[in-house]
Amino acid sequence: MMFDGVNLIAVAAAAVASFIFGSIWYGVLGKAWMKAAGLTEDQTKPDPVALGITFVCQLIMAFVFAGIIYHTGETSIRTGIISALMVWVGIVMTTQIINHRFQGRPWSLTFIDGGHWLGVLLAQAIVIGWFAS
């Protein structure tokens, strides 16, 4: 199923993969993240609404990212990974660094969250590229 060159099944699979990646990432780094963010365990209990919003946002992100990869002229794992790295360095990390510096947050939070978004983009890139292969 395609939408202007974007494989919607790949988008759905990419959203699931990135959601699973995020669960694992923050499952492993949860305590360090809570400390860096200045949050308690009670403040970070999973909320079904927040998880649902997160998945919808991951779905939108995967759709837009698939469109970005498609517009490179070749949808493949290689172009997906290159696109992921460029979006991460040029958009994700720059905005996180700016936001966290103005919020007075520690660099550890920037690295934890930034690593998460790099993993999300790479997971989506690999899945979208794999479906195109």
Instruction: Tell whether the model's pLDDT for residue 53 goes beyond 90.
Output: yes
Distant-in-sequence, close-in-space partners of 45: CB < 8 Å, separation ≥ 6: none
pLDDT at res. 58: 98
In this prediction, residues 22-36 reach a mean pLDDT of 97
Nearest to 69 by CA among 133, 21, 19, 20: 133
Mean pLDDT of 79-96: 98
Mean pLDDT in residue range 78-107: 98
Instruction: Please say whether the beta carbons of 93 and 114 come within 8 A.
Output: yes
- Position 103 scores a pLDDT of 97
Domain residue ranges in the chain: 2-132
Question: At which residue do the structure tokens 């660094």 appear?
Answer: 97
Query: Can you give the pLDDT at residue 19?
Result: 97
Amino acid at 93: M
Nearest CA to 116 out of 101, 96, 90, 99 is that of 96
What pLDDT, in 10s, does the model give residues 61-78? Answer: 999 999 999 988 889 999
Do 112 and 55 contact (CB within 8 A), yes or no? no
Question: What pLDDT score does 1 carry?
Answer: 59
As a whole number of angstroms, the distance between CA 108 and CA 53 comes to 25
Q: How confident is the model at residue 46 (pLDDT cuts 50, 70, 90)?
A: confident
